[in-house]
Copies of this chain bind each other. A is one copy, B any other.
Amino acid sequence: MNIDMIKAAAKRLDGNVRRTPLLESDALNRIAERRVLVKAECLQTTGSFKARGSWAAISALPEAERVKGIIAFSSGNHAQGVARAAAAHGVPSVIIMPADAPQAKINNTRTLGAEVILYDRAHEDRDAIGARLAKERGLVLIKPFDNADVIAGQGTTGLEIAEQAAEFGVTDADVLVCCGGGGLTSGIAVALADAAPDMVVHPVEPDGFDDVTRSLASGRIERNTRLAGSLCDAIITPQPGDMTFPLLQKYCGPGVVVSEEDAQRAMVAAYTHLRLVAEPGGAVALAAALYHAHHLNKDTLIATISGGNVDPTLFADTLQKFG
């Protein structure tokens, strides 16, 4: 994984995914007591940054591989990205999703043309299921983060952040990234190390699922004790990836951990001040910028909103509790 792979991915993605806006709001600046720029990946096609990595990976496959069809496991955002990219390349896809994934994500994945297979997140090993199905059907497995082309695709977000921040006159910032397995975080960090070397990337995770933050602190891969039971379904993974962790170690500053409640307050802030729909896991970085940036040094914070696929009932509940 290097900057050249990210630049090559950016060329393959051009015209096939959106260049999402970087937005500033005076009201958010006041809450954070600092300048905050928001990279709105909830406006990405399929509603999350995952459209980038899956397109990058599927477009990089040799034709003879790709035609066999694609398989992926995902709580929903990678699912939609893979389903869309596979369909656009004219090949079938099978997506293994946790049975407790948001209904909106399951529905969208099916609508995008994928075959969806549900599993029990607490008791079954999605990697084992994926490997077995891939073997049985001859499908190509596109892992959600431990895949160099996927990381390169997510890293294109970082190239855009560097260019768009420069238009605001910003080259120096703490960059807060919603972090599950670390594909987006490591991709952005590799991109910014080249394109905006004064920026420091910080993974952001929800309370109780802070495997990356703890792993960065201890210097070795740490696991979460729970594997389910968070509103932040999009970024709940057992542990950092074998491929992402060394990149996170090399390129990132320390992680930031926020409560689910703060993620929900950030969802309301995005609703009120940016008119954007953020999902809980997609709002943790904004929560860190607004409520947990006291120990960060830079004058400007850049926060990704990584996705906006959230069931209407949960969004309504969040507005009623925190609006």
Interface of A with B (CB < 8 Å)? 18, 21, 23, 25-27, 42-43, 45, 47, 104, 108, 111-112, 268, 271-272, 274-278, 308-309, 312-313, 315-317, 319-320, 323
Contact = CB atoms under 8 A, between A and B. Distances in A.
A201 B129 CA distance: 53
Given A27-B111, A320-B313, A271 B275 contact: no
A279 to B, nearest CB: 9
A163 to B, nearest CB: 15
Contact of A312 (B43, B276, B312, B323): B323
Contact of A275 (B23, B268, B277): B277
Contacts of A312: 268, 271-272, 319-320, 323
A23 B43 CA distance: 9
A308 B275 contact: yes
Given A277-B277, A313-B323, A316-B319, 7 more contacts: A21-B21, A275-B309, A276-B276, A276-B277, A315-B316, A316-B317, A316-B323
A315 B313 CA distance: 11
Contact of A319 (B25, B27, B45, B315): B315
Contacts of A317: 316
13 contacts: A26-B112, A43-B274, A43-B275, A268-B312, A271-B277, A275-B278, A275-B309, A276-B277, A277-B277, A312-B320, A316-B316, A316-B317, A316-B319
A47 to B, nearest CB: 5
A323 B276 CA distance: 17
Among A112, A275, A313, the most chain B Cβ lie within 10 Å of the Cβ of A275
A37 B274 CA distance: 20
A178 B111 CA distance: 30
A167 to B, nearest CB: 10
Contacts of A309: 275
A316 B318 CA distance: 9
A42 B25 CA distance: 13
A199 B164 CA distance: 32
Which 3 pairs of residues, A with B, have the shortest CB-CB distance?
A312-B323, A275-B308, A316-B316
B323 A275 contact: no
Contacts of A18: 21, 23
